[in-house]
Amino acid sequence: MSSNRVALIIAGVLLLLVGGVVLRGTSVPAIAPPVPLPTAEAPSSKPAPRAPAVASAPPRAEPDREVDGVQIAVLQEGEGPVASDGDRVLLHFTTWLMDGKRVSSTQQKGRPVGVKLGDGALLPGLESTVRGMKAGERRKAVIPPEKAFGAQGRGPIPPNSSVIVEVVLLEIG
């Protein structure tokens, strides 16, 4: 195992330990539970995917499309095939309230989320955002309440609230 990989593993463990101390006793919602990607394949020689640093405020970008009621802006183009229902995807996302208050971040936790797209593990608005993305692509989405947490809300997200999500598709596979 390379020294860079060992250093990354140690840094990840430290982040989890420090994050656990900082977050202990707080209620930070998870939008989707982490689902491990299949590991039957031989390890790849390509470097692990990296996401940009966690932003303190949502990106300022005007939407360039609307999909299923979700306003989407492409912040960075990706490469390769597009994600579609049935694909296993690995992604990072950060969620803010409309006033700019950050409420959750997989990047801050140091744990990307792996899910099968279209199986309902993600918010409907987040699935609409990820569908059609390419690996390495970064998008901002404004998700209306009916595609987010609805009339019940969740944790720090009040009922009937739209949310802003920045999502980075790390890999499809």
pLDDT at residue 38 in the model: 42
Under 8 Å between Cβ of 4 and 10: no
Residue 159 has pLDDT above 60, yes or no: yes
Q: What is the CATH number of the domain that holds 101?
A: 3.10.50.40
Task: Judge whether 46 lies within some domain.
Answer: no
Tokens standing for 66?
A: 């609307």
Residue 112 CB neighbour total at 10 angstroms: 21
pLDDT at residue 89 in the model: 98
Which comes out higher in pLDDT, residue 26 or 170?
170
Under 8 Å between Cβ of 141 and 130: no
- Give the pLDDT band of residue 24 (cuts 50, 70, 90): very low
CA separation for the pair 164, 173 (Å, rounded): 26
Q: How many domains does the chain have?
A: 1
CA separation for the pair 116, 84 (Å, rounded): 9
Residue 114 CB neighbour total at 10 angstroms: 19
Average pLDDT, the chain: 80
Tell me the per-residue pLDDT of 63-73, one tens digit each, with 9 for 90 and over. 999 999 999 99
Q: Backbone phi, then psi, for 11, in 5-degree steps?
A: -60, -40
Any residues with CB less than 8 A from the CB of 157 and at least 6 apart, and which?
A: 29, 95, 97, 103, 148, 149, 163
CA separation for the pair 108, 18 (Å, rounded): 11
CA separation for the pair 119, 79 (Å, rounded): 24
Tokens standing for 173?
A: 């596979």
Q: What does pTM read for this prediction?
A: 0.68
Query: What is the domain range of residue 117?
Result: 59-172
Task: Judge whether 38 lies within some domain.
Answer: no
Looking at the DSSP assignment, which residues form a beta bridge with residue 95? Answer: 104, 165
- Give the pLDDT band of residue 29 (cuts 50, 70, 90): very low
pLDDT at residue 61 in the model: 85
Task: Judge whether 74 lies within some domain.
Answer: yes
Task: Judge whether 39 lies within some domain.
Answer: no
